[in-house]
Structure 1
Amino acid sequence: MGILLVAGAIVSEVAATLALRASHGLTRLAPSVLVVVGYGLAFVLLAQALKSLNVGPVYAVWSGVGTVGAFAGGVLLFGESVRPATVIGVALVVLGVAVMYLGGGMEH
């Protein structure tokens, strides 16, 4: 159940981050509301997940997968550029998350 809560937190955080880009500095109402609701839901779900999961690996997964998701969403939704350095950075984030996940144990 904890992993599903983390997955929901990741989806909520990525949606909120992409809405933040679409909000044009929080000047557009609908995306701004999605920012507040999305981040709020992400933190509630993450807090619930941390009742049964270890904070270090969970935070690594949440922030790392969220980073990759925001990058992919920026490329797909906003036409942001993909450069070799960004691809290498994404690969390093994924590698780092994998190491944290495998080395830290998720459940306490």
Structure 2
Amino acid sequence: MDSLPKDVQEGLQAAHMKAARKKAHMRVAVGDESFPVLEFREGGFALDRDDAPKLRGLVDLYAGENHLYQCLIVASEEDGPMMRYEFKRSTLAMDKPPLDFARDPDSPVALIPR
């Protein structure tokens, strides 16, 4: 790809990023803003460098409307047109508060009226 003219390389890179944004099914939310996640891996994720600011701190990761994780992140490196972020902490999002006691596995699930 080094043998191509610079404007052709930039055009190919822009087309690749546009396609990646279009097929992104995950997004990261910070306050009222959200950004499409172009690449997700075990230790972090990547966003379009031009669209996303240098994020740091607490963010929420979504797949569609499903809240997946609450993460503490730090920007790690620029990788071509992408900005990579690493997880310092990643916690599964829960739809109900965690219990502060151990539930007995033999306890009844519901009461049956007489």
Rg (Cα) greater in structure: 2
Same fold (TM over 0.5): no
With normalisation by structure 1, the TM-score equals 0.33
Greater helix percent: which structure? 1
With normalisation by structure 2, the TM-score equals 0.31
